[in-house]
Amino acid sequence: MAAEEPVAPPRDCPACPRLAAFREENRAKWPDWRNAPVPSFGTAGARLLIVGLAPGLQGANRTGRPFTGDWAGDLLYATLLKFGFADGVYDERPDDGLTLVGARITNAVRCVPPQNKPEGAEIAACRPYLAGELAALADGAAVVALGRIAHDSLCRALGVRLKAAPFGHGAEHALERLRLFDSYHCSRYNTNTGVLTTEMFETVFARVRTYVDGAS
């Protein structure tokens, strides 16, 4: 039985005044962009949930699909295709026909923040939506946190102490219901500076693939 679609923030979500003001600025500048909370992509309750930071200004905030239209999406979707978590061709457009296979992508913060830096109160305000995504997962599902902010927010959503599950690239944590895998965020900054290489990123998803196949 398919999981019920988790509640998503409304188009004009007022929870974060700074983000709402930034959203209105962007709507005035680029009226044909989405400029609204970005919905999750993929089937609710999938065996794998990938949690990013927040929509990129010219990426998901423009296109309306997580990690679509920026460098982070180039690496993420290429990796998902390689390991069988996606099917089709990623063409940086929400209508490119790409589908996820047993996977779903969401963000810790659903609205684009200025300078791509959400504040603590904004992360907390959006956490109930992340908690809904996590609650829809079946026991034993895998979750990949892309970066420390995503890791910390999902741990808090699950009631897990951060010291009990410290973030680190390649770290793996067996939580009460879920298996958490950590990776540095696949941002252009991280890849350009060598903090994250394609090989490092693929190693994480190879382990996720092995885990998901073994838990199915």
pLDDT digits (tens, 9 = 90+) for 7-28: 999 999 999 999 999 999 999 9
Residue 8 is assigned to a structural domain of this protein: no
Question: Is 33 within a domain?
Answer: yes
Percentage of the chain beyond pLDDT 70 is: 99
Q: Rounded to whole angstroms, what are the CA distances from 83 to 29, 153, 188, 195?
A: 38, 26, 21, 22
Type of residue numbered 57: L
| % of residues, the chain, pLDDT over 90 | 95
The b/e string for 105-116 (b: 16+ C-beta within 10 A; e otherwise) is: bbbbbbbbbeee
Residue whose structure tokens are 């963000």 = 107
CATH of residue 112: 3.40.470.10
- pLDDT tens, position by position, 137-159: 999 999 999 999 999 999 999 99
Instruction: Tell me how many domains the chain contains.
Output: 1
Q: How far is CA 92 from CA 50, 58, 59, 142, 175, in A?
A: 18, 11, 9, 25, 34
- Mean of the per-residue pLDDT values of the chain: 96
**10 domain-assigned:** no
Chain centre to alpha carbon of residue 214: 23
Per-residue pLDDT tens digits for 34-66: 999 999 999 999 999 999 999 999 999 999 999
Residue 1 within a domain: no
Sign of CA dihedral 144, 8, 40, 189: negative
Q: Which of 187, 106, 197, 196 is nearest to 153 (CA)?
A: 106
Judge whether 6 lies within some domain.
Answer: no
User: pLDDT category, 2, cuts 50, 70, 90?
Assistant: low
Type of residue at 204: V
Q: Please indicate, yes or no, whether the overall pTM of this predicted structure exceeds 0.95.
A: yes
Domain-located, residue 11 = no
Q: Does some domain include residue 2?
A: no
* Domain enclosing residue 125, as ranges: 17-215
Query: Is 47 domain-assigned?
Result: yes
